[in-house]
Amino acid sequence: MIKSFTAFSLTLVLAAVGGPRNADAHAATLYQQIGGEPKMRAVVDDFTQIALADDRINFTFAETDMKVFSRLLFEQLCNITQGPCRYTGRSMLEAHKKLNITNAMFNALAEDLYAAFDREKVPYRLQNRVMVLLAPMQHDVVKVGAGPHSTIGPTASASAPAPDASPPSPQH
Amino acid sequence: MQGSRVRLRRFALRDRLISIAGSLLGSLLLFATVAHADGILGADEGKLLMTGAFSDISGSAGGGLVPMALITGYGSQNSWGANAHVTDVRLHDFNLLSYGLAAAAFDRLELSYAKQQFDVVGTALDGISIRQDVFGAKLKLLGDAVYNQNSWLPQLSVGTQYMRNEGIDDADHVGHAGLVSPTQLGARSDHGWDFYAAATKVFLGQSLLVNVVGRATRANQYGLLGFGGDLRNHYSFKPEASVAYLLLQQLAVGGDFRANPHNLSVDNQRSSFDLFVAWTPTKNLSLVGAYVNLGSILAPVTQVTRTQDGPYLSLQVGL
């Protein structure tokens, strides 16, 4: 029984892990595999459009300079995917402190980013590898106890990534 | 003549069950649409696609034969979720129909109910059917299957399933007059509790979901043949596992494995498994198609020792 169980799990894991792989995956950074600067900038532009049209989260951008936001989001995505960029915005914790972000809002943003990657035809498994780097930020972004009835909106003073109001966070 | 009447009666019952399940699903789908449109009752559908999992054959969030640590539906920690399922499994000599409802509070607690109807459609026992109710409860203890990508910590839940076998119907028509309960087949009880702990982790970098379950159980064939038996009446501790490869946000392929106890001399139950394709076009709808293999069922009684395997199809609506 244990033997068949082991064989079964191994087969599935191998089938899954041994699936389609980029031959040069070991050499290229995730940033390069996605398509470098032009692709990443396109994703950020798409994302900004999608997020601003998304009623679940667009009110958090009410007082955000979207030009600055796009620049910082590009820097961040480029930086965490080992691209040649430096993130000059505030830390995730600092930037979201006053926003009462819920898990549902964090997930809505993730869905919008998936949608932006889809629009630019970035393969799903590469999208997930970016999400690996973003998912742990949930701890800093989501406010514990933030509920669906928290009053966010026009009075919110900042959005994230927020304009460079504090010293740049150190590079990885 | 008598056999065909039994069959007619059974199919009438089956049709009725399917129409009940259909209207159930229809009303929930309608409700889900309304709820989604107006956001009424605070249903936020705030979880990521697929993290509401699917319904396993016992009605708990999971898939196929195995529950997961994931909580049913798409309500985030500030909201609630729900799911209705109807699942049809066609084996060589047996069919299993399961339908039911599950509800979740705060992405923390899950309560579920499933009705199972198990029909014998081959062998000398053709015509017999067994019905069972399964009540489930699951509590997420800690972790999150998706967010903690920088650690190995999975989402961990504990759960229980209380199964109440309603007995055996129509055995008199196949020469087993008076056979009305699985206890007459050697089971010690017609109701029982399963207890399980489930750990589920999505390895996003590999687009892989891994789920491991430990279950304490006395159930024979998932409770359909009662609990405990002439060979063994103690709880057995059995492992289960699921692996899924996420092909797309809406599409996953994978398999489940479940080890089962062998308590009854009339049933050489062994481990079971399935291989599935799961499609979730929206948070309100999902479809799972699978190949399921339950091993032999009641072989010492029916003298039919072949593997009972076949297609599995499950439709789920929720929010």
> What single-letter DSSP state applies at residue A136?
G
pLDDT at position A169 = 42
φ, ψ (nearest 5 deg) of residue B25: -65, -40
- pLDDT band at A164; cut points 50, 70, 90: very low
Judge whether B254 is closer than 8 Å to chain A, CB to CB: yes
| Residue A18 scores a pLDDT above 80 | no
* Nearest residue to A126 via CA among A59, A60, A54, A29: A29
Q: Chains A, B: CB contacts under 8 A, how many? A: 95
Neighbours of B274 (CB within 10 A): 24
How far apart, in whole angstroms, are the C-alpha atoms of residue B120 and residue B18?
17
Which residues in chain B have Cβ-Cβ distances shorter than 8 Å to A128? 204-205, 207, 246
The answer to whether B210 touches B243, Cβ cutoff 8 Å, is yes
Residue A4 tokens, joined:
């068949």
∠ at Cα B91 (B90, B94), nearest 5°? 95
Neighbour-count burial of A44, counting CB atoms closer than 10 A to its CB (0-12 exposed, 13-18 middle, 19+ buried): buried
Please give the average per-residue pLDDT across B150-174, as a whole number: 94
How far apart, in whole angstroms, are the C-alpha atoms of residue B119 and residue B121?
6
Which residues in chain B have Cβ-Cβ distances shorter than 8 Å to A144? none
Best interface-test mutation with A: which of B148, B207, B274 has the largest number of A CBs within 10 A? B207
The predicted-structure confidence for B230-288, as pLDDT tens digits, reads as follows: 999 999 999 999 999 999 999 999 999 999 999 999 999 999 999 999 999 999 999 99
Q: Report helix, strand or coil for B225.
A: coil
Bridge partners of residue B238, in order along the sequence:
B215
Bridge partners of residue B317, in order along the sequence:
B84, B285
- pLDDT band at B172; cut points 50, 70, 90: confident
- Cβ–Cβ of B245/A135 closer than 8 Å? no
Judge whether A136 is closer than 8 Å to chain B, CB to CB: yes
| Residue A158 scores a pLDDT above 60 | no
pTM of this prediction exceeds 0.80: yes
The predicted-structure confidence for B157-167, as pLDDT tens digits, reads as follows: 999 999 999 99
The alpha carbon of B126 is separated from its chain's Cα centroid by a whole number of angstroms, namely 23
Length of chain B: 319
Cβ partners under 8 Å of residue A36, min gap 6: A83
Q: Report helix, strand or coil for B268.
A: coil
ipTM score here? 0.85
Q: Rounded to 10 degrees, what is the CA torsion of B252, B253, B259, B260?
A: 80
Which residues in chain A have Cβ-Cβ distances shorter than 8 Å to B144? 138
Bridge partners of residue A62, in order along the sequence:
none
Neighbours of B307 (CB within 10 A): 14
Cβ partners under 8 Å of residue B63, min gap 6: B53, B54, B55, B56, B242, B244, B254, B256, B276, B278, B288
Judge whether B30 is closer than 8 Å to chain A, CB to CB: no
CB contact burial B144-157 (16+ within 10 A = b; e otherwise): bbbbbbeeeebbbb
How far apart, in whole angstroms, are the C-alpha atoms of residue B71 and residue B83?
10
pLDDT at position B40 = 54
User: How large is the C-alpha radius of gyration of chain A?
Assistant: 18
Q: In what order do the strands lie in the sheet with B66-67?
A: B54-55, B61-63, B66-67
The DSSP secondary structure of A73-101, one letter per residue, reads: HHHHHHHHTT-S----S--HHHHHTTS--
| Residue B99 scores a pLDDT above 60 | yes
Q: For B132-179, give the secondary structure using H, E and C.
A: EEEEEEEEEEECCCCCCCCCCCCEEEEEEEEEEEEEEECHHHHCCCCC
> What single-letter DSSP state applies at residue B219?
B
Which residues in chain A have Cβ-Cβ distances shorter than 8 Å to B273? 8
Compute the nearest-CA separation of B119 from chain A (Å): 28
The residue ranking higher by pLDDT, A101 or A24, is: A101
| Residue matched to tokens 């640590």 | B69
> What single-letter DSSP state applies at residue B70?
S
∠ at Cα B200 (A136, B116), nearest 5°? 140
